[in-house]
Structure 1
Amino acid sequence: MTSPRQQVAVIGTGMAGLVISYILRNDPRGRFDVQVFEKQDKLSLDSASHTLTDSKTGEKSERLDLPMRAFADGYYESLRRMYDYFGITYGSPRFIYALSTLSNAQADPYFIHSSNNHQLPPLRPNGLSWISWLIEVCYLAVCYYWFTACCFFVTPHTAESAGTEETLRQYVDRIRLPQYYVANYLLPLMSSVTTCSHEALMDFPAVDLVDYERRTFRQKHYTVLGGVHRVQTKLSENLTHTLGAKVTTVENVGTKVQVTWTNIDGQSNSRLFDHVILGVTPDVVGAIFQPLRTAMAAVPTAKVQSVVHRDFSRILNASQSIWKQMSWGSGESAPQPIHMCSKDGATESIHEHPSSALITTYPIAPIDPEKVEYTATFTRVLRSAASRQIVNRIFGRRSADEKSQLWRNGDGNVWLVGGWCWDGMVMLEGCLASATRVANALDVEVPWMKSS
């Protein structure tokens, strides 16, 4: 006899939630009915993005991904395989990173770095003499290759290997990486990836950043052509979802899992499911799922803003200097400068989009409110030595003598997915890895992971 279809609730429609929903809906054996809950009035993967409007015609034009969601070879194997499976096209933008310190109204670069290996030697910032620039380049080359060599040959201490978890702060001290290089190069560049303060970044597990640096060394970076909404469209085909549904509790009731939510009218609803998959941030998990309330409180999160605007006042001089020195062929795409401005232990990134709009992420200096077009706020999950141990315990295998009260992923048919639900940097690849883990546990084939 045919077994009844299992009822699955997926809470959250970010990348991880949509991926696991797609996998289960397309189970070759047709064993799952999937119901997706989203508290917003639209799917959240692309909800923070913005469509520019032409100031003259009033027509909508280009879609801006907020956050950018760039990805690199070497680190995003599963993500690329999924994009290729869906026929999602992506390109390798010519990013120009201008590093500066906000000591006055202008962001005057002290170094300009060209990514994707397309600009050698590096550009010389205006106002910096040839001698000073050559000294800076030589110093940077020595520090960079020393740090790179350490990433490959000096393994960070971890709780598994050494009994204690080494932070980035402890690691750079141990390898004697100069503080000038750390403060002016390593932290500004990496904090733009992690979207957090320098102090929070220094508390990250060293193994996270060393592994990321090693795997992305001399690799190209990509962005989805046409915007990540194309990915959302593919993943949400034939999706059964409830929008405007704020889940308030997830709890085990016998052999089932009960989901309780309120709709946009404030009415409370409950339903029993065979499995519930939480594709939300740790603070939300702790709020709605009691067994993880204490553990999730130890996983740091931060609210981050991305602002679309046209206030060029702070970067005007640096931008003009970059464009004067850049040259590219008729068949090449124009470079995209990203100004990384640091002050008081934090770095904001200002992306000069080809549409002539600016996108400032993690703003640390005022932006003219009259030139602001759009602002998005999202939750960023951070890492720490303590949170790495918590996450690894949740997703690790249970030993035979371990106490039963330690909750593990899948206990009571409740599962976690998300960019933070793996042992690594909180990236889109974690969304794919955690969704694949749940699919494997439920014996469901992941279509893009098939052998070619």
Structure 2
Amino acid sequence: MEANEPRKNVAVIGTGMAGLVVAYMLRNDPRRRFEVEVFEKQDKLSLDSASYNLANQNDGSAKPERLDLPMRTFADGYYESLKRMYDYFGIPYDSLRFIYSLSILPDNATRQTSPYYMHSSNNHQLPPLRPQGLSWTGWLIEVCYLAICYYWFKACCFFVAPKTVESSGTEESLRQYVKRIMLPNYYVKHYFLPVFASVATCSHDALMDFPALDLVGYGRRTFRKKHYTVLGGVQQVEKKLSEDLTYKLGVKVTAVENIGTKVQVSWTDTHDGQSSSQLFDHVVLAVTPDVVGAIFQPLRSAMNAVPTTTVQSVVHRDFSRIQDSSRCLWAQVSLNHGESAPHPLHMCSNAAATETVHEHPSSALITTYPIAPIDSGKVLYTATFTRVLRSCTSRQILNQIFSQQKTGGDKSQLWRNGDGNVWLVGGWCWDGMVLLEGCLSSATRVANALDVEVPWMKESSL
């Protein structure tokens, strides 16, 4: 920057992954052109705020383990930017060994679940695990049927493109796509929906309303790829991104408004109720669409079309539903010398939704999107968060917002990202599944627009 050029001040509202990443990139601009201040409604940064310190019952002297809530995993092929950032910071991650158990929740709350299929990640358990009560013949038939359906869907991901407005003038939902490729209903109900609803953390109906392109793209890019999780929890990521960060905690932003060439941010202190405002050169909204609509008037109508839902993750010790299936699973697990124990992940479904129950090594369960009752006396901690969903309508609206093409003379056209120096970032701010890679992609978009170097992208090209 020129010696006499004043630095631009930037407000980042929200401290999830996207907010912290864009704040890190701007405040570490090599030309030192930006002063960055971050606003957070909670009394701590939100990226790791829902996580929980769990004491190990088997060793009372051991240091409590930090549980990421929700559990965050990432895969080669899909999370390329996220992985490059972790490598840049030297954040350790590894491919944990999971055993996925699929079962139907019984109508009777006193009955336990009975798995109809068990799968080990990367096939680390050979021979494959067979659910108790299922004959060898029945199990082999089920495995063969599953393999045919699975590889048929994967083949379609590569060779049968979903219909989109851009390609054919109409947007195809997942519901329409699986019908068009004739994916069997039994496979969809018992395998496809439980797995992908667990990834998207939503009901089966909501998932089927997603644009088909989202799931097809995810399936294609993660095919035969390893999945990882950060060792030691996402707290390490938060610590790296927030070094030397200037932030205001416990402030609720109430309005973001364009005032001339500036952007005014108004907020209320959540402790004393005092109201304040300040002018900035740029404002980055790193919050969910319902919050964007509430505080930024130009997007109020558009954000109403972006679906969201409230999701819970519950840490507890109520094994009543999965005790028998867990015992059966562990009876078949074989461990080689020096191997760490696998992580059982029970996917329990009813007709409408799927809950995931993660057996943590510290003798606790983590249930995400709970649909079966949990004994309140055995609940250790509950985290509630907003999940942004997708629909064919919201995909079109968001693609218009983030499009770089503007039609001259069209006064009715939708507000676009960056108009009036206001920017959107988040896992939902890109054309894909609402996952962490979207946080990196949208933050990088802002950095590129402001001509700021992305350090991990430069590192990867050396």
For the criterion TM > 0.5, the same-fold answer is yes
2:42 paired residue among 34, 40, 43: 40
Task: Give me the whole-angstrom Cα distance separating, in 1, the residues matched to 2:393 and 2:448.
Answer: 27
| Within-5 A mapping of 1:245-256 | 245-256=251-262
State the match for 2:68 in structure 1: 65
Residues 230-278 of structure 1, C-alpha deviations (whole Å, 9 max, x = no match): 0000000000000001000000000000000001210100000000000
Please state whether the residue corresponding to 2:337 is helix, strand or coil: coil
State the match for 2:380 in structure 1: 373
Q: Is the 8 A contact 1:310 1:371 kept in 2?
A: yes
Please state whether the residue corresponding to 2:223 is helix, strand or coil: coil
Give the aligned residue type for 2:94.
G
Give the aligned residue type for 1:279.
A
State the match for 1:382 in structure 2: 389
State the match for 1:345 in structure 2: 352
Please state whether the residue corresponding to 2:326 is helix, strand or coil: helix
How does the TM-score come out when normalised to structure 2? Answer: 0.96
Residues 368-399 of structure 1, C-alpha deviations (whole Å, 9 max, x = no match): 11110000000000000000001100001223
1:293 paired residue among 262, 277, 300: 300
Please state whether the residue corresponding to 1:299 is helix, strand or coil: coil
Q: Is the 8 A contact 1:51 1:60 kept in 2?
A: no
State the match for 2:322 in structure 1: 315
2:191 paired residue among 185, 190, 204: 185
The answer to which of 47-56 and 302-311 deviates more is 47-56
Task: Give me the whole-angstrom Cα distance separating, in 1, the residues matched to 2:177 and 2:128.
Answer: 28
Give the aligned residue type for 2:447.
A
| Within-5 A mapping of 1:15-414 | 15-54=17-56, 57=60, 61-103=64-106, 104=108, 105-263=111-269, 264-401=271-408, 403-405=410-412, 406-414=414-422
Give the aligned residue type for 2:239.
T
Give the aligned residue type for 1:10.
V
Measure how far apart 1:30 and its partner are: 0.3
Q: Give the gaps of 5 or more residues in structure 1.
A: none
Task: Give me the whole-angstrom Cα distance separating, in 2, the residues matched to 1:100 and 1:53.
Answer: 29
Q: Is the 8 A contact 2:257 2:263 kept in 1?
A: yes
1:11 paired residue among 10, 13, 16: 13
Give the aligned residue type for 1:61.
P
Task: Give me the whole-angstrom Cα distance separating, in 1, the residues matched to 2:104 and 2:290.
Answer: 33
* Count of residues in correspondence between the two structures: 452
The answer to which of 105-114 and 281-290 deviates more is 105-114
**Segments of 4+ moved more than 4 angstroms:** 54-60
Measure how far apart 1:132 and its partner are: 1.2
Measure how far apart 1:281 and its partner are: 0.2
Residues 122-157 of structure 1, C-alpha deviations (whole Å, 9 max, x = no match): 210001111111111111111111111111110000
Give the aligned residue type for 1:222.
Y
Q: Give the gaps of 5 or more residues in structure 2.
A: none
Distance 1:246 1:176, change over 3 A: same
Task: Give me the whole-angstrom Cα distance separating, in 2, the residues matched to 1:357 and 1:50.
Answer: 12
Measure how far apart 1:113 and its partner are: 1.1
Task: Give me the whole-angstrom Cα distance separating, in 2, the residues matched to 1:144 and 1:349.
Answer: 21
How does the TM-score come out when normalised to structure 1? Answer: 0.98
Task: Give me the whole-angstrom Cα distance separating, in 2, the residues matched to 1:309 and 1:72.
Answer: 28
Task: Give me the whole-angstrom Cα distance separating, in 2, the residues matched to 1:166 and 1:391.
Answer: 16
Give the aligned residue type for 1:439.
A
Task: Give me the whole-angstrom Cα distance separating, in 2, the residues matched to 1:115 and 1:23.
Answer: 35
Measure how far apart 1:57 and its partner are: 4.4
- The two structures, once aligned, show a CA RMSD in angstroms of 1.2
Q: Is the 8 A contact 1:5 1:30 kept in 2?
A: yes
Measure how far apart 1:119 and its partner are: 2.6
Measure how far apart 1:188 and its partner are: 0.1
Give the aligned residue type for 2:262.
K
Q: Is the 8 A contact 1:116 1:221 kept in 2?
A: no
Task: Give me the whole-angstrom Cα distance separating, in 2, the residues matched to 1:122 and 1:59.
Answer: 34
| Structure 1 position 417 matched with structure 2 position 420 | no
Give the aligned residue type for 1:438.
V
Task: Give me the whole-angstrom Cα distance separating, in 1, the residues matched to 2:340 and 2:68.
Answer: 18
Please state whether the residue corresponding to 1:24 is helix, strand or coil: helix
Task: Give me the whole-angstrom Cα distance separating, in 1, the residues matched to 2:135 and 2:56.
Answer: 41
Give the aligned residue type for 1:48.
A
The answer to which of 57-66 and 136-145 deviates more is 57-66
Residues 192-212 of structure 1, C-alpha deviations (whole Å, 9 max, x = no match): 000000000000000000000
Task: Give me the whole-angstrom Cα distance separating, in 1, the residues matched to 2:127 and 2:35.
Answer: 56
Identity level (%): 74
The answer to which of 100-109 and 363-372 deviates more is 100-109
Residues 91-116 of structure 1, C-alpha deviations (whole Å, 9 max, x = no match): 11111110000124211000001112
Task: Give me the whole-angstrom Cα distance separating, in 2, the residues matched to 1:377 and 1:11.
Answer: 20
Give the aligned residue type for 1:228.
V
Residues 51-110 of structure 1, C-alpha deviations (whole Å, 9 max, x = no match): 013568487510000011100000000000000000000011111110000124211000
The answer to which of 110-119 and 287-296 deviates more is 110-119
Give the aligned residue type for 2:52.
H
Task: Give me the whole-angstrom Cα distance separating, in 2, the residues matched to 1:25 and 1:352.
Answer: 40
Give the aligned residue type for 2:20.
L
Residues 269-315 of structure 1, C-alpha deviations (whole Å, 9 max, x = no match): 00000000000000000000000000000000000000000111110
Measure how far apart 1:332 and its partner are: 1.7
Please state whether the residue corresponding to 1:116 is helix, strand or coil: helix
Residues 8-36 of structure 1, C-alpha deviations (whole Å, 9 max, x = no match): 00000000000000000100000000010
